């Protein structure tokens, strides 16, 4: 975003006249929006709307997506921000409402200040402002990437921040938010959702409004805290349990308010702060010790096999603990990705050979689907209102939560989650002899994050050993024999 801001400032300084037309054509269209992925050929200018004309309407295949309203300013003005008034925001909102069909997203700018509006937010017009960023102010500049065409209309990650604006509006209506504390709430929520978007490669896969919010889990908050405490560039180090509790409270309030207004149908922050954070004291232990060994892998399979949804549960467990897939990848797995006959599946462009146990699970799930006339494209589904839909991501967490009953006297079973077993597996694969490139291909882990799973010291030490041994090492999956034996035990009966 720094390069974009430099380009905008440079163009502004080159203009002798900062009137509306110059701002619109020379700054907004051909610098700011072009750099953010908008095609100048898709702009319609001066379209008649309401009691005036919208400066710019962005259309794809004649479908209107975005309205931009520009204003001018005086050259050399030191008070350019006041040039955008509340009446200007109202004008843009009126244009969005009056357009047929109604458009949700709009931008109001004078070349220096950029106000992004989502008109579907319930509340007063000022409450619909999602971002208000000035290129002359360092505050919030990093979030300008969410103005881009890709984040607004393709991946739709900007919706997270519209959800934050909606939360603020509801909380004001309910009288549950002290506006003196809003800056702290906003900062935490902005940083969390920026982290969450990055973790998911800036993609929102679901097309259902707000469904993605139901996937967010306290486990994601823990990941945010760990990431935040390790990021030296952020200038923040989160070490206090009290700070963690505050973060949880902010997110819990966010979800509680949206849930009470039926904005979200399901949320995972309803069990209370102390309950959800009861494992904080074990965080260091979880990260330093690997409890996913052959014995516990076998115990997990045996316990899940005893459940009513045994094949589904084992399939989810294997995908996370044997193949190292992330929760959202498992959640969005489709039958088109799987070839049972060839014992193969395609995951994010990577072809993986399936073991016999996973093939057996998928085969039984397809038989159950046929019997239930379940024609969903997704592998893991649930029946809601007589229709089969993709399971809520929380269901995948619930499968791992069952494992705490394997041995209730061993607290370590409460550590098991999709992310935890993935962490353990990546380390075990390396320990067994898999190369880093094999691990990256097999699990899809980001090469930039590999040190989060295997420390640099361990990688260097193991590299020395392999080099001294002539780099000869035929790696076998650490849990192959466990899975093969379990498969034989349940198919030989």
pLDDT at 229: 52
Please state, in angstroms and rounded to a whole number, the distance separating the CA atoms of residues 433 and 428.
Answer: 9
Q: State the pLDDT at residue 298.
A: 95
Domains of the chain: 2-154 (3.90.1570.30), 155-278 (no CATH), 294-491 (1.10.443.10)
Bridge partner residues of 350 (DSSP): 347
> Can you say whether the dihedral through the CA atoms of 11, 16, 19, 22 is positive or negative?
negative
Predicted local distance difference test score (pLDDT) of residue 212 = 80
Low-confidence ranges of the chain (pLDDT < 70): 48, 50-51, 75-82, 204-209, 228-241, 271-288, 452, 467, 470-473, 493
Exposed/middle/buried for residue 101 (C-beta within 10 Å: 0-12, 13-18, 19+): exposed
User: What pairing do the DSSP bridges indicate for beta strands 63-70 and 105-109?
Assistant: parallel
Non-local CB neighbours of 4 within 8 Å, separated by 6+ positions: 32, 35, 36, 144
Q: Give pTM, 2 decimals.
A: 0.59
DSSP code at position 272:
-
Cα 483 to Cα 493: distance, rounded to the nearest angstrom: 16
Q: For residue 187, what pLDDT is reported?
A: 93
Residue with tokens 């192959």: 480
What single DSSP character describes residue 153? I
What pLDDT score was predicted for residue 206?
Answer: 61
């Amino acid at each position: 975003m720094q390069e974009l801001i430099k380009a905008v400032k440079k163009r502004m300084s080159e203009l002798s006249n900062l009137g509306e037309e110059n701002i619109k054509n020379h700054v907004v269209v051909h610098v700011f929006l072009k750099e953010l992925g908008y095609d100048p050929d898709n702009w319609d200018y001066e379209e008649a709307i309401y009691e005036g004309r919208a400066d710019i309407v962005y259309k794809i295949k004649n479908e209107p997506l975005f309205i931009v309203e520009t204003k001018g300013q005086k050259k050399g003005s030191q008070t350019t921000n006041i040039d955008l008034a509340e009446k200007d925001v109202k004008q843009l909102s009126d244009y969005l409402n009056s357009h047929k069909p109604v458009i949700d997203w709009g931008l109001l700018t004078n070349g220096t200040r950029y106000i992004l509006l989502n008109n579907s937010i319930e509340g007063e017009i000022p409450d619909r402002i999602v971002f208000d960023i000035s290129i002359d102010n360092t505050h919030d500049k990093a979030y300008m990437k969410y103005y881009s065409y890709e984040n607004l209309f393709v991946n739709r990650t900007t919706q997270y921040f519209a959800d934050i604006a909606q939360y603020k509006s509801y909380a004001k209506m309910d009288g549950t938010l002290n506006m003196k504390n809003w800056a702290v709430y906003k900062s935490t929520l902005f940083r969390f959702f920026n982290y969450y978007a990055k973790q998911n490669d800036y993609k929102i896969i679901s097309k259902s409004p707000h469904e993605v919010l139901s996937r967010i889990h306290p486990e994601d908050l823990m990941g945010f805290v760990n990431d935040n405490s390790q990021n030296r560039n952020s200038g923040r180090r989160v070490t206090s349990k009290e700070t963690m509790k505050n973060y949880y409270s902010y997110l819990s309030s966010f979800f509680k308010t949206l849930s009470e207004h039926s904005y979200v149908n399901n949320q995972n922050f309803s069990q209370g702060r102390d309950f959800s954070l009861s494992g904080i004291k074990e965080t260091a232990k979880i990260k330093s010790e690997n409890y996913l060994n052959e014995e516990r892998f076998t115990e997990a399979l045996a316990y899940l096999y005893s459940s009513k949804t045994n094949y589904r549960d084992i399939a989810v467990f294997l995908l996370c603990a044997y193949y190292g897939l992330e929760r959202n990848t498992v959640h969005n797995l489709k039958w088109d990705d799987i070839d049972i006959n060839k014992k193969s599946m395609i995951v994010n462009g990577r072809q993986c050979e399936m073991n016999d146990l996973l093939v057996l699970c998928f085969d039984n799930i397809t038989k159950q689907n046929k019997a239930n006339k379940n024609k969903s494209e997704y592998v893991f589904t649930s029946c809601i209102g007589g229709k089969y839909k993709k399971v809520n991501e929380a269901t995948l967490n619930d499968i791992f939560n069952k494992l705490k009953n394997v041995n209730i006297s061993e607290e370590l079973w409460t550590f098991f989650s999709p992310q935890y077993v993935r962490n353990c597996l990546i380390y075990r694969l390396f320990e067994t002899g898999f190369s880093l490139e094999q691990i990256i291909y097999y699990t899809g882990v980001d090469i930039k994050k590999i040190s989060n799973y295997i420390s640099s010291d361990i990688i260097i030490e193991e590299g020395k050993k392999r080099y001294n041994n002539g780099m000869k090492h035929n790696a076998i999956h650490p849990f192959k024999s466990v899975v093969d034996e379990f498969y034989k035990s349940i198919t030989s009966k």
